[in-house]
Every structure is written in structure tokens, then in C-alpha cells.
Amino acid sequence: MSNFAPPAELSKAFINIGKAKATNTFWKLFVLGILAGVFIGFAAHLATTVATGDWAAFGMKKFFIGAVFSTGLMLVMIPGSELFTGNNMMTVALFNKDITFGQMMRNWGIVYAGNFIGSIALAWMIGSASGLLDGPVGATAIKIAVGKVTVGGDAHTSMYFWRAIGCNWLVCLAVMMAVAAKDIAGKVLAIFFPIMAFVTSGFEHCVANMYFIPAGLFAKSSAAAVAGSGKSAEALAGLNWATLWTGNLLIVTAGNIVGGAVLCGIVYWWAFVRVAGKKAEAVEAKVATDTI
């Protein structure tokens, strides 16, 4: 017996997954969405800590940041929760006409809100209540957050859109492989490599940024973190709750949807589910004709 589901079987599995997600209650989706925001936030804080300090090799630093960040999706997938970017794969069920567009958007809206609240809550706990961002780690958090709302100048919007596409393309592939794996070790390995790849490559994930940017905002209250960041007053002023959305989340969310809903969900529905459905219809039509 195979210890993983082949592509055709895997793609069809997302029909039932999408149907279940579309019919979950508001509160179940919302609470599980909060949990996913917290889980991704745990990984983001871990990545911020690993990024702190002197690193001789840029590539190795990025690799280790990506390696530890993969913990987030492991926490989401194995214990179970609702992550907006992974739920972009609901387009498989949508295009197979098993759920409606309204049902999918309801899920996305509730889960996105839950992810945001969970991420913000953890960022507050770590950034304001725990004191963990009062020193060098806080300085790193500020540097990350400032970079995420200002990098690229006039080209910022376009750059982040394409980075977000690459991100959720890999994230949804990680989700697919984790679903395909039939044991925990397989799920861990399936998640590790694509998530490590997206972070190391410098791609953009909207739910991760729901933690990274607020963590930098909360760290701004620490004089030591601000001094350690080396950022100018102008740059710090540009890091605020408005630029969280206008400088990052809006465009990154749009790119994530393209990467996950289109390049994974719709493409795999077209390649495996649609073709299988047409073959089944042809067989049924032949049987009906032969019977007549």
C-alpha cells in the first residue's frame, strides 16, 4: 500500500475538503482561524529571533530563517486549524460545482479575520506584554516591519504582488503534499521543503505579515529596540497601522490568492479532476446508449 496519495486522488480529495470548509459553522471557522494566526505568529517570532545577530553568510541566514518558519504550517496542518492561504485551494471544489462562490468567500472572509486577530493578539503578547522585543530581537522586528511596508519605492506594489504569487504557490503545494502524506513524518517533510523555499527565496505571505508588521509596531514602544534598529524617524513614522494595509497586506493578499487559488487550485482541478469527470460522463453516456 502506498504511503501517499497520487496526484489524481489528491486533487479529488480537495473536493471533499472544500465542501467541509464551506459548510463549517461561523464560530468553528473563526476560532480555528484565530489559532492558525497564532501558529503562524509563533513561527514568525521564531524566525525573527533566528534572524537576530551577526551572520557571515546571507544565504545560510535566509535558509535557517526559512527552516524554522516551516514550523508554522506544521502546527496548522497536523493539529488542525483554518489558514486563509491554504483555503485558497477551495477553488477545486468551486470549479467542480460542489460549492458556491458565496460559500467560498464566506469561508475566506471569516478565516482571514480570524487569522488577523490571532496574529495581532500574539504580536501584542510578545511585543508589549512579554518584553521579548525590548532588545535586539525587537530591533530585528522593526527592521523586518519597516522593510515590508517601504521596500522597492515606486515599484513596491508590483514587486510584492509577484512575490506573493510565488509564496502561496509554494504554500499550497506544501498543503497538497501534506494532505497526500499518510503519516506525520511524511507531513512534516512535505511541509518543510516548500515553506523553507518560499521564505528563503524572499516571497511574501499575508498571514505571516499579519504578525511581522504588528510586531514591529509594538516594538516601536521600546527605546532600546528603536535604537538598535538604526531606522530613521521618517522610516519609523512610515511604519503604522495604515501602511500595514496599504503598503503590504492588500497587495500581498491579492497575490497570494492568484498563487494558491489559480495556479494550484484551478490548475490541478483542470489537470486531474475535470478530465476524470469528463471520462466518467462519457462512460455513463455510453452505458445509457447501449442500454437503449
What is the set of domains in the chain, with CATH numbers? 7-291 (1.20.1080.10)
> How far apart (Å, rounded) are the C-alpha atoms in residues 205 and 218?
20
pLDDT tens sequence across 46-65: 999 999 988 767 788 999 99
Q: Is 39 left (phi over 0), alpha (psi -120 to 50) or beta?
A: alpha
Handedness of CA 258, 169, 81, 64 (dihedral sign): negative
Q: What are phi and psi of 53, to 5 degrees?
A: 105, 180
pLDDT per residue, tens digit, the chain (292 aa), is 567 778 888 888 999 999 999 999 999 999 999 999 999 999 999 999 999 988 767 788 999 999 999 999 999 999 999 999 999 999 999 999 999 999 999 999 999 999 999 999 999 999 999 999 999 999 999 999 999 998 655 556 789 999 999 999 999 999 999 999 989 999 999 999 999 999 999 999 999 999 999 999 999 999 999 999 999 999 999 999 999 999 999 999 999 999 999 999 999 999 999 865 544 444 343 433 444 5
Contact indicator for 83, 174 with CB cutoff of 8 Å: no
Q: Quick one: which of 10, 48, 15, 75 has its CA closest to 214?
A: 48
pLDDT tens sequence across 128-176: 999 999 999 999 999 999 999 986 555 567 899 999 999 999 999 999 9
Overall pTM > 0.75: yes
Contact indicator for 264, 88 with CB cutoff of 8 Å: yes
Helices and strands counted in the chain (H then E): 17, 0
Q: Quick one: which of 80, 84, 133, 132 has its CA closest to 105?
A: 84
Q: Quick one: which of 178, 156, 162, 164 has its CA closest to 13?
A: 178
Contact indicator for 138, 219 with CB cutoff of 8 Å: yes
What pLDDT score was predicted for residue 7? 81
Q: What are phi and psi of 55, to 5 degrees?
A: -125, 125
Beta carbons within 8 Å of 156's beta carbon, 6+ residues apart: 150, 247
Q: What is the largest CA-CA distance in the chain?
A: 83
Q: What are phi and psi of 95, to 5 degrees?
A: -70, -20
